[in-house]
């Protein structure tokens, strides 16, 4: 008999299998991959300038204000390759030497990295830089087409980090600066600071911050339409070493904290300190047991009604035990607010023979509730501001800033799980599709220079495409979104790209299966076009199916024309076929039958097929088709058809002969012997492979023939380095010794000598000689040329 244990084991296995199936739907791969050479983006970078990591969009000025290392730029927001102005902001030699004397690298650390840019009003901006580990802030203006640094420098401690590579965050709210960074050179004193007429800061205590890494800050107008008379909140996201868990090593967790905008600190307790600071853990659960994921970036999708606002966050793994490296989770503002306003607190307790433990606080809470903003209930009790809060409430919040409950994501699980390169930054665009619905499209940057575009359809995360933005694979350090344009910054440059390029989809099926909210197939003009931003302007002839990916409405396409290719025996042949999608399965058919993937005869790869050592049996028709599955339907497209035709040996021989004839005729023509004849017309139709082979054979044969001809002429003595000019010795045939041929006349008294010269030439295979006799009669020379064919050496 089977024990109950076996039943529970089987049941547990079934549950895990179902859970894995559900989670695997979240782990997607991009449907399209656009390489750097094909991205068609606009770039900006200047030689010698690095770390383009701070951006401020000034829509009113039409500018993208860009902060880099020791420089600030004003770029045209429509074309960032156009730099309208530049302001250098370098460190002094004294500051650089002082920084170097403290053990920092002079050319890396001891420079001025612009880390903060905020708009204060229509004409004034606030900028801060690391300034060689001596943070400094200043004001900057833009007028008459140029940037100007005002020169009113302020101490930047608590506003800007000392270390240029340390994460920090800030936000400007009603000209009050909220910043999260470090207060000291070593980076060991973290702080959330408000720079205002009434400055506030956090308490330097491990229960408040324990080696944090600040990521993001923003304000939520919770006072709007609040029946409780609540205050606006500033939310901040960070990671830190957990104090509430027992672990053999430091365990990093992700947090969200908030403070009230109207906080003024305490009267006696928490003077000049936040009285409304609360924090809690952010949960981004994974399908398998693992360490908590670490938050890397956050984007606030604002809504007209703040209760519908959503925070999207990127997380990365801190464990090597899982191959799921990154995740994206989304959180409702109301869920976060609920934890802070009604959740339980954690408290420290001392346990014998052990360290301090953090447990849920079950005691009675002081009134007003610790950490709460000054609302109508507090005002009715005579508490008009935080300075009026009782010490009991302030002491409690000083010792209990941590909440017991964690904030869960909207769907209870990540929207996206990713393997491979880590995700670094994200922005989210709310897109209206042709069906009248709005879909949040997530753009996430990666550590190797890609941007991925993804959208979640009823719990299914679909990655539409990934685009490589930087050639040298730099991590994406900053992402900004503005009016259908995406701006990405890295260490080496800045890129501007449209949120969607519908022209990348060449067919109706490709356009519809992309499930891109920005794009739809226009049946009238037969191309993939941008969907109008207003649903009422959407055309009825647009074909788009985002939820179902239904391409059955697409018109039938024209059949693919076969391409004829020549099969040369013994050669390797490549046939190209590019699928439209990474999700499609490519199938090759030969003579109506599928080609096996594991055959040594063929290699099927993502760009086509290789046929090795082609034989006569490989001739025939090859068909490349792609099959892409969407919502239970298979969509098959024929991508390419090749007719591979064998080239017979006789044809190859004829072509070789023809090529040899052409070459020899060209040679004799260049020698001036006779005019070449026109080559046969069919030689013009040689394939590139055949022409190359024929050319190689022809050159080899011609080289051998020329070598043999040269050797034979040298052997026969037909070629001599001495030509018939002037007095010349004759090299006799058969390599006989040189000798002079002299003839003496009968008249010895006059001592007249007659010289006979012999010149050798070739004419129709016969040896001809020309005798020149110079006879001097007095002072008048007479040239007589006597030509005679010689058939025997004895005649010489």
Domain assignment present for residue 328? The answer is no
137 and 86 in one domain?
Answer: yes
**Are 273 and 259 spatial neighbours (Cβ–Cβ below 8 Å)?**
no
705 pLDDT higher than 90 = no
Write the CATH number for 592: 2.60.40.10
> What percent of the chain is predicted at pLDDT more than 90?
67
The verdict on residue 707 lying in a domain is yes
The domain containing residue 117 runs over which residues? 52-166
| Predicted pLDDT at 27 | 56
What pLDDT is recorded for position 712? 74
Q: Is the pLDDT of residue 748 over 60?
A: no
Q: Tell me if 302 is assigned to some domain.
A: no
Model confidence band, residue 227 (pLDDT cutoffs 50, 70, 90): very high
- Report pLDDT for 557: 87
pLDDT band at 268 (very low <50, low <70, confident <90, very high): very high
Looking at the fold, whether 638 and 653 belong to one and the same domain comes out as no
Q: Quick check: 675 pLDDT over 90?
A: no
Residues 520 and 580 in one domain: no
pLDDT of 176: 97
Q: Dmax over Cα atoms in the chain, in whole Å?
A: 159
Predicted local confidence at residue 535, as pLDDT: 58
The answer to whether residues 65 and 72 touch, using CB atoms and an 8 Å cutoff, is: yes
| Helix/strand/coil (H/E/C) assignment for every residue in 474-528 | CCCCEEEEECCEEEEECCCCEEEEECCCHHHCCCHHHHHHHCCCCEEEECCCCEE
Ranking 26-30, 183-187, 313-317, 598-602 by mean pLDDT, the lowest is 26-30
Asked if 608 and 708 sit in the same domain, the reply is: no
Average pLDDT over residues 436-464: 94
Same domain (yes/no): 695, 772: no
Average the pLDDT over 124-128 and give the result: 98
DSSP 616-643: GGG-EEEEEEEEEEETTEEEEEEEEEEE
As a whole number, mean pLDDT of residues 461-466 equals: 95
pLDDT value for 514: 96
Strands of the sheet containing 200-201, edge to edge, are: 169-173, 176-182, 190-195, 200-201
Q: What is the mean pLDDT of residues 382-402?
A: 97
For residues 795 and 504, the model is more confident at 504
Same domain, 567 and 622: yes
Which domain CATH number covers 514? 3.30.1680.10
Mean predicted lDDT score pLDDT of the chain: 83
- The SS3 call for residue 569 is coil
Mean pLDDT of 380-394: 96
Among 646, 669, 702, the domain boundary falls at 646
**7 pLDDT higher than 60:** no
**Residues 109/110/111/112 CA torsion (nearest 10 deg):** 90
Structure tokens at 788: 């005679």
With cut-offs at 50, 70 and 90, classify the pLDDT of residue 554: very high
For position 747, what pLDDT does the model report? 39
Q: If you average pLDDT over residues 429-446, what whole number do you get? A: 93
> Is the pLDDT reported for residue 308 higher than 90?
yes
When pLDDT is cut at 50, 70 and 90, the band that residue 57 belongs to is very high
Is the model's pLDDT at 728 over the cut of 70?
no
Answer yes or no: do 133 and 59 share one domain: yes
Helix, strand, coil in percent for the chain, rounding step 5: 20, 40, 45
**Distance (Å, rounded) from C-alpha 23 to C-alpha 287?**
6
On whether both 162 and 96 belong to a single domain, the answer is yes
Q: In this structure, are 636 and 532 located in the same domain?
A: no
Shared-domain flag, residues 627 and 711? no
Q: Tell me the average pLDDT across 678-707.
A: 59
In a domain, 511, yes or no: yes
Strand partners, 254: 239
Residues 634 and 661 in one domain: no
User: Among 163, 265, 154, 263, which Cα is nearest to 213's?
Assistant: 163
Q: Is a pLDDT exceeding 50 seen at residue 687?
A: no
Q: What is the mean pLDDT of residues 560-580?
A: 93
pTM for the model: 0.79
Q: Tell which of 135, 151, 166 closes a domain.
A: 166
What is the domain count for the chain?
Answer: 5
CA gyration radius, the chain: 42
475 Cα distance to chain centroid? 9
Question: Is the residue at 772 inside a domain?
Answer: yes
Mean pLDDT of 344-361: 85
Same-domain check for residues 585 and 655: no
778 or 53, which is more confident? Answer: 53
Residue 597 forms part of a structural domain: yes
In a domain, 432, yes or no: no
Work out the pLDDT band at 503, boundaries 50, 70, 90: very high
pLDDT for 23 equals 41
User: What pLDDT is attached to residue 691?
Assistant: 56
Q: DSSP string of 286-314?
A: -SS--PPPEEEEEEEE--SSGGG-EEEEE
CA distance readout (Å), 401 to 207, 240, 346 = 7, 14, 8
> For residue 789, is pLDDT > 60?
no
Distance CA(213)–CA(240), nearest Å, equals: 6
Higher-confidence residue of 789 and 133: namely 133
Q: State the first-to-last Cα distance of the chain, in angstroms, to the nearest integer.
A: 122
Domain boundary among 593, 611, 646: 646
Q: Across residues 34-53, what is the average pLDDT?
A: 95
Write down the pLDDT at residue 436: 86
């Amino acid at each position: 008999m089977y024990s109950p244990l076996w039943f529970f084991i089987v049941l547990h296995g079934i549950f895990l299998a179902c859970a894995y199936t559900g989670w695997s739907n979240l782990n997607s791969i991009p449907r399209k991959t656009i390489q750097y050479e094909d991205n068609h983006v606009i770039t900006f970078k200047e030689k010698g300038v690095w770390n383009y990591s701070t951006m401020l969009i000034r829509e009113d000025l039409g500018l993208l204000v860009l902060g880099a290392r020791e420089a600030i730029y004003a770029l045209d927001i429509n074309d960032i390759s156009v730099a309208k102005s530049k302001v250098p902001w370098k460190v002094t030699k004294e500051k650089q030497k002082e920084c170097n004397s403290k053990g920092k690298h002079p050319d890396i650390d001891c420079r001025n990295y612009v880390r903060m840019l905020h708009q204060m009003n229509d004409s004034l901006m606030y900028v801060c830089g690391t300034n060689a580990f001596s943070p400094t802030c200043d004001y900057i203006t833009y007028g008459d087409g140029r940037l100007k640094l005002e020169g009113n420098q302020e101490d930047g401690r608590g506003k800007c980090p000392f270390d240029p590579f340390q994460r920090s965050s800030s936000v400007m709210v009603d000209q009050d600066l909220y910043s999260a960074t470090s207060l000291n050179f070593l980076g060991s004193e973290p702080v959330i600071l408000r720079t205002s007429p009434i400055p506030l800061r956090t308490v330097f205590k491990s229960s408040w911050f324990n080696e944090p890494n600040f990521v993001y800050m923003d304000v939520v107008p919770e006072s709007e339409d609040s029946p409780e008379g609540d205050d606006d909140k500033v939310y901040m996201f960070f990671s830190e070493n957990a104090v509430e868990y027992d672990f053999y090593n430091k365990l990093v967790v992700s947090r969200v904290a908030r403070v009230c905008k109207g906080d003024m600190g305490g009267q006696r307790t928490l003077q000049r300190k936040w009285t409304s600071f609360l924090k809690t853990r952010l949960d981004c659960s994974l399908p398998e047991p693992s360490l908590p994921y670490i938050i890397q970036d956050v984007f606030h999708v604002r809504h007209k009604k703040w209760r519908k606002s959503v925070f999207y966050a990127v997380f990365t793994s801190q464990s090597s035990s899982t191959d799921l490296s990154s995740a994206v989770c989304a959180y409702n503002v109301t869920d976060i607010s609920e934890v802070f306003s009604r959740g339980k607190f954690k408290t420290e307790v001392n346990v014998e023979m052990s360290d301090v433990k953090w447990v849920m606080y079950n005691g009675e809470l002081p009134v007003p509730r610790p950490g709460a903003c000054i609302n109508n209930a507090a005002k009715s009790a005579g508490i008009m501001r935080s300075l009026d809060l009782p010490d009991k409430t302030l002491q409690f919040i000083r010792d209990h800033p941590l909440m017991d409950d964690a904030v869960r994501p909207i769907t209870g699980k990540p929207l996206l799980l990713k393997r491979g390169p880590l995700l670094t930054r994200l922005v989210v665009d709310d897109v209206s599709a042709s069906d009248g619905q709005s879909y949040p499209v997530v753009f996430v940057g990666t550590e190797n220079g890609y941007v991925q575009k993804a959208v979640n359809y009823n719990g299914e995360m679909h990655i539409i495409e990934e685009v490589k933005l930087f050639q040298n694979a730099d991590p994406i350090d900053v992402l900004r979104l503005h009016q259908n344009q995406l701006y990405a910054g890295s260490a080496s440059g800045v890129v501007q790209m449209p949120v969607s390029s519908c022209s990348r989809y060449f067919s109706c099926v490709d356009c519809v299966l992309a499930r891109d909210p920005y794009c739809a197939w226009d049946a009238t003009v037969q191309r993939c076009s941008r969907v109008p931003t207003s649903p009422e302007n959407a055309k009825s002839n647009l074909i788009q199916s985002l939820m179902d990916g239904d391409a059955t409405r697409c018109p039938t396409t024209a059949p693919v024309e076969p391409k004829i290719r020549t099969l040369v025996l013994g050669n390797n042949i490549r046939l190209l076929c590019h699928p439209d999608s990474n999700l499609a399965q490519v199938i090759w058919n030969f003579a109506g039958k599928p080609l096996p993937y594991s055959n040594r005869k063929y290699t099927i790869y993502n760009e086509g097929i290789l046929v090795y050592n082609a034989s006569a049996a490989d001739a025939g028709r090859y068909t490349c088709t792609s099959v892409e599955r969407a919502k239970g339907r298979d969509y098959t497209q024929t991508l390419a058809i090749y007719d591979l035709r064998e080239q017979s040996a006789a044809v190859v021989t004829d072509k070789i002969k023809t090529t040899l004839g052409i070459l020899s005729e060209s040679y004799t023509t260049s020698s001036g012997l006779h005019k070449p004849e026109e080559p046969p017309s069919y030689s013009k139709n040689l394939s590139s492979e055949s022409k190359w082979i024929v050319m190689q054979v022809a050159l080899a044969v011609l080289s051998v023939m020329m070598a043999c001809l040269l050797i034979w002429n040298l052997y026969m003595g037909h070629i001599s380095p001495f030509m018939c000019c002037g007095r010349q010795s004759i090299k006799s045939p058969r390599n006989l010794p040189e000798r002079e041929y002299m003839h003496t006349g009968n008249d010895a008294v006059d001592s007249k000598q007659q010289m006979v010269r012999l010149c050798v030439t070739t004419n129709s295979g016969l040896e001809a000689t020309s005798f020149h006799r110079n006879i001097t009669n007095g002072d008048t020379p007479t040239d007589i040329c006597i030509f005679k064919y010689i058939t025997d050496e004895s005649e010489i």
